[in-house]
Structure 1
């Protein structure tokens, strides 16, 4: 007999990343000594297992969040001692004699955000926060049209949707306030935004995909605290993005390539471009003799201030990457995520004290955001990303005028478009396709460069076999006629984890095959597929990558 467990709490936080944990910690501090119950649910196997960032962090935020904690006990890595921007050509490089505006990282710290989150989770638990990992939450609960909590995913279902002997209905978690802290392109966050039209009148959110490897390198290859950001090769003037190289303690180095998903080529492969990038001598000399030890990928919301949705509804708030709190071109979001969580904690504490969690009362959260460092940092660069809609040269011109006009530029508020709408049909793309551009550099030696399957192995991604496939083709007939025939199944190229395979049989019939077990939960397919043809939904709890130091 089926039954639903029901759990009640004062505050439910969905997501155990930096913003969710900051919400829990700051709220617990404010309400210390009260009977307020704070419950945090994380879909990853453990706190940190789904967390990936570069990362170079503005670490002073931890002094605000953790005033009672010795700063030296926070597991930051190396303090930045050198910060350079490097322009790459195919076989050469030169260091820029200046920092591009907003790109200075001196006094910041390199870090594994996953390790930071593990540390924050111990702090939260010590303050009485209940944390449960390995539970996916796939449904928002409503009462009288208002959010009243969320429900964990049913388990014990086979890949056809039939219930197995071990079927267990998900738990309903009723809460006075629910905080959505799911990270970039959060599954429930998107449902909330769509249901209440929280993005009405806002710019479309735009994203980049970052692919990252962690390497162990030979002594002297790079100093801990050396930071390099690269521009140019292998990206063209029509592609937005760049690379990063962060020297870590113990002869480790974090490297990655971040590329805007508004590129035009339907065959562009960001993972492949990352492998090409590593072959530039400036990068390869650092990695020579080293060993790749971990891989991951994630998307980043880059739309900026004008793409922020309304952040509150009755009984619910949105924090962190799910809201889009990232500044460009600095590509800094960790400190903003933490700050948003802290401000959410302030607003929730005030609402609970007044016994009023209505949208009107919780609007205090958005007011706090707009009088904080979040707006102070995001508003001056509000037009930055949209200014690059039409390529590097026009983007640079737009940015230069924005610097002279406090961010306004010559045209006021610039618009963005859905990343998927930038993709051009195969027959209309009049430049070289990705493999033609780099045909001599896409043979991977598994020493310096790696194919997708090998990299996925180093993400430790795994998924239960008995469950509905969490990558869903919304209309298979339309997908075949449009996405395959007109665009060549772009997901095969843009997925960094080789989830998608375009199979052609002897008669020439083509079909898409999905290897969901490879998925690292970057959600690029949910963002970039033409016509929104693929939907990413949460798989079983504990599934996905199992990062250690990403």
Structure 2
């Protein structure tokens, strides 16, 4: 970056406006206010923290526009952060009213579990829209007038002094596709801070580089992921029971593929239906979006969503490796929170409350560092200790081998998961070791054998009930400035042409839930190549972690680009 960049110094910088950083910023303001009030009243000795400069940057065009989840919220963290959340009109769709779990068969049958497994019991939880929820948290922060919030600013690189993190540089705006400056060019900023809090989500572009620089992945297990896709349907009047929660297993996923589906009843005649697939699957032809469409054809599901019109869509990865995958969380001048830290309970399919708790823990550690004016790794390590030994770690330790067990397939996985439930997470082997997600993909020839893959199953997209990818991408509101360099980098096209396409039949055209990658043929040479439609990207980052040759890198596009989630 040769362009002279303006320096914007702050004390505390939050990168990413997800539940973790929003909770951290709000809690930190409250701690500082309480500290100052106590000193004013003579209840506490010490120096006031009168002018703490706090900033939060978010790559989305506004708070909530990139927030995507199922979502059912365990309110444990919300009650701690905002005890009067109902009086403050928290946008809860509904308290959970009913729970049910079904096993679906390929022949259209269903079997309801007589008892909902304890991890999937949701009494006392709430169905929410995460995009609405994060906007609400953002509004609470804005009301304090003590945090500068900058949506549309993407953090693209960490700033270092030796090995100390001293801030983030934001991306330039107004760069043409060839790298030249357009008339509206604006250089990014160097935002320097005493402490930088990275909440850039699963497979975050900044945390990925941070972990690599310091070799700070867990010594036990790598961060492991799942890909979730979801549609929100507009239903006929009276068809939806708000607070209804249904989970299913079995069809449409194969027995060697871990995943499941969810249906949540929302308010205003809206219903969300989604499918989650563990990214350690073997099938090179796996297409999560296609599997979601297949799900909708099952007689049971078709009856539940009959008359519904898909109006919103989205996709996201979930860091689901669990306790043994948690990386180093504290550095000299930096903390990692939420999804970026892999804090998700895969057994419960819940992570929002853990992300919020991590933000609260981060705020309490940062507050102590502000008082002592010491932001060294030694001081900030108190946060990592709280995460591992406190409520977050206690919850994750009980399910520490769940994702790894389910990677063995549905039936073996259920057996191991049952033993783990009895032994509080241990099971037969502790830890259960698995490799990176991309290492598990098998070639078409190996997976399907001599008979080859099955023929077309006759699924016809009508874009009224069964949606093709491009129509669903339209429903996600995804927009990018198309005259900019692609934020999706295929490092070596020859690997695609000579290795990946012949061996795996271009898996990126399927594991991407947004039709970013297309297989095309050069008419002159008859060679196949991958065309990248980066403007379709919903920022799920599946391509960055599932490509079998690690040949794709996801970077932040120009700030403000991406999906425009509002009800997801």
Tell me which interval the TM-score lies in, with the shorter structure as reference length.
over 0.9
Deviation, structure 1 residue 476:
1.8
Partners of 2:447 and 2:310 in 1: CA distance:
35
Runs of 4+ in 1 over 4 A off after TM superposition: 68-72, 431-435
1:187: which partner in 2?
Answer: 205
Task: Describe the SS at the equivalent of 1:385.
Answer: helix
Task: Describe the SS at the equivalent of 1:549.
Answer: coil
Deviation, structure 1 residue 71:
4.5
2:137: which partner in 1?
Answer: 120
Instruction: Find out whether 1:307 has 2:308 as its counterpart.
Output: no
Deviation, structure 1 residue 289:
1.7
Partners of 2:452 and 2:491 in 1: CA distance:
27
Deviation, structure 1 residue 425:
1.4
2:44: which partner in 1?
Answer: none
Contact 1:178 1:317 in 2 (8 A): yes
Partners of 1:467 and 1:362 in 2: CA distance:
38
1:393 to 406, 411, 415: 411
Partners of 2:406 and 2:449 in 1: CA distance:
19
Task: Describe the SS at the equivalent of 1:73.
Answer: coil
Deviation, structure 1 residue 197:
1.1
1:26: which partner in 2?
Answer: 27
Task: Describe the SS at the equivalent of 2:134.
Answer: helix
1:277: which partner in 2?
Answer: 295
Contact 1:206 1:416 in 2 (8 A): no
In the alignment of these two chains, the number of paired residues is 549
Deviation, structure 1 residue 3:
2.3
- Structure 2 residues without counterparts, runs of 5 or longer: 37-49
Matches within 5 A, 1:424-463: 424-430=442-448, 436=454, 439-463=456-480
Contact 1:78 1:225 in 2 (8 A): yes
Cα separation, partners in 2 of 1:435 and 1:245, compared to 1, 3 Å: farther
Task: Describe the SS at the equivalent of 2:375.
Answer: coil
Partners of 2:182 and 2:267 in 1: CA distance:
48
Superposition RMSD in Å: 1.7
Instruction: Find out whether 1:104 has 2:154 as its counterpart.
Output: no
Partners of 2:321 and 2:451 in 1: CA distance:
27
- Offset from partner CA, 1:381-429 (integer Å, 9 cap, x none): 1011111232122212211221222211112211121111110112222
Instruction: Find out whether 1:294 has 2:312 as its counterpart.
Output: yes
Partners of 1:70 and 1:250 in 2: CA distance:
18
Instruction: Find out whether 1:472 has 2:489 as its counterpart.
Output: yes
Contact 2:497 2:527 in 1 (8 A): no
2:157 to 136, 139, 158: 139
Contact 2:102 2:248 in 1 (8 A): yes
- Offset from partner CA, 1:434-482 (integer Å, 9 cap, x none): 9727x33421122211100110010111111221101101122223222
2:511: which partner in 1?
Answer: 494
Contact 2:10 2:55 in 1 (8 A): yes
Cα separation, partners in 2 of 1:433 and 1:326, compared to 1, 3 Å: farther
Partners of 1:383 and 1:13 in 2: CA distance:
31
Deviation, structure 1 residue 376:
1.7
1:168: which partner in 2?
Answer: 186
Partners of 2:344 and 2:7 in 1: CA distance:
36
Deviation, structure 1 residue 282:
1.4
- Which deviates the most, 89-98 or 75-84? 89-98
Task: Describe the SS at the equivalent of 1:370.
Answer: helix
Partners of 2:10 and 2:20 in 1: CA distance:
19
Instruction: Find out whether 1:43 has 2:56 as its counterpart.
Output: no
Task: Describe the SS at the equivalent of 2:119.
Answer: coil
TM (norm. structure 1) is 0.97
Cα separation, partners in 2 of 1:244 and 1:70, compared to 1, 3 Å: closer
Partners of 2:68 and 2:281 in 1: CA distance:
23
Contact 1:265 1:423 in 2 (8 A): yes
Partners of 2:450 and 2:301 in 1: CA distance:
25
Partners of 2:357 and 2:32 in 1: CA distance:
18
- Which deviates the most, 166-175 or 110-119? 166-175
Partners of 2:446 and 2:526 in 1: CA distance:
23
Deviation, structure 1 residue 431:
5.7
2:392: which partner in 1?
Answer: 374
Partners of 2:548 and 2:337 in 1: CA distance:
28
Partners of 1:227 and 1:407 in 2: CA distance:
25
